[in-house]
């Protein structure tokens, strides 16, 4: 119930934010239209946000001919975690990274990039997959995926305000106010993302280490991914930074605004905690 309560609060907060932006864009009528749109989007996000994110990143189902041993590894780790085996997807992207999605463990999926397959050892890949399974086990994926969908929508509405100008109580258009909406609406959405991300990553690291049985596997993987993520572009993520919090390591680095979506805790701290687990275990 904790995960569902968190998701309900998130959806309510995003709906209120959406209505607030709608009010600034179009007054009372704009708020009502925004509420109707938010209600529809909440329903779509709950049932289809996972499919939307996978489609956005052009993820394709994994198979043993292209990635031998991967499906068996996912199945073994899922058994270790006491979870149904999630669907496994591959994203054609040179940046090593991964994320999990799905509204519940019975409808979950994990997606990893070709860059991750090429640059990490199988043990390190096991650590990454275990981390993503921990998100599924904790029911983080529903909140993560819905946040990505709704935060992206709020950002789009803010951008619309720049071109339309926000409507004041006097019925006139105010381009400057529209510019402020364009700037602050995505920032507000980013704050919501950060609120649900940082502590969640530490917990997923801890449980993921228990699932794979070797904290150093995940620690080594995080160091490799972080190093490559700062050197290799992820164009799709840069174009939709509202999805950045879903990845195991922040995929953004090209633009100054990317720092606003730094929803992950420091990699060095995550690695230190995992290595301490290994020493104490």
Residues noted as catalytic? 132
CA angle at 107 for the pair 240 and 261, rounded to the nearest 5°: 25
Query: What 3-state class would DSSP assign to 99?
Result: strand
Q: How far apart are CA 281 and CA 278, in angstroms?
A: 5
CA angle at 238 for the pair 241 and 137, rounded to the nearest 5°: 50
Q: How far apart are CA 247 and CA 261, in angstroms?
A: 12
């Amino acid at each position: 119930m904790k995960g569902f309560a968190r998701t309900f609060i998130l959806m309510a907060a995003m709906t209120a934010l959406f209505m607030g932006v709608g009010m600034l864009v179009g007054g009372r009528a704009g708020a009502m239209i925004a509420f109707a749109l938010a209600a529809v989007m909440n329903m779509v996000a709950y049932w289809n946000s996972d499919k939307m994110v996978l489609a956005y990143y052009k993820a394709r189902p994994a198979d043993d001919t292209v990635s031998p041993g991967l499906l068996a590894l996912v199945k073994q780790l899922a058994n270790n975690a006491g979870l149904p085996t999630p669907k496994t997807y591959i994203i054609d992207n040179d940046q090593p990274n991964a994320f999990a999605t799905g509204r519940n463990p019975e409808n979950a999926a994990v997606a990893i990039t070709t860059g991750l397959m090429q640059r990490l050892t199988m043990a390190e890949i096991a650590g990454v997959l275990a981390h993503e399974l921990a998100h599924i086990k904790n029911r983080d994926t529903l909140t993560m995926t819905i946040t990505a969908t709704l935060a992206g929508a709020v950002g789009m509405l803010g951008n619309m305000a720049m071109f339309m100008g926000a409507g004041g109580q006097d019925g006139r258009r105010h381009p400057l106010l529209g510019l402020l909406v364009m700037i602050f609406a995505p920032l507000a959405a980013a704050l919501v993302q950060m609120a649900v991300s940082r502590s969640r990553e530490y917990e997923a690291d801890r449980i993921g280490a228990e699932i794979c049985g070797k904290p150093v596997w995940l620690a080594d993987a995080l160091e490799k991914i972080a190093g490559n993520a700062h050197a290799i572009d992820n164009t799709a993520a840069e174009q939709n930074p509202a999805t950045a919090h879903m990845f195991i390591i922040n995929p953004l680095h090209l633009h100054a605004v990317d720092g606003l979506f730094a929803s992950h805790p420091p990699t060095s701290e995550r690695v230190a905690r995992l290595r301490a687990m290994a020493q104490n275990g």
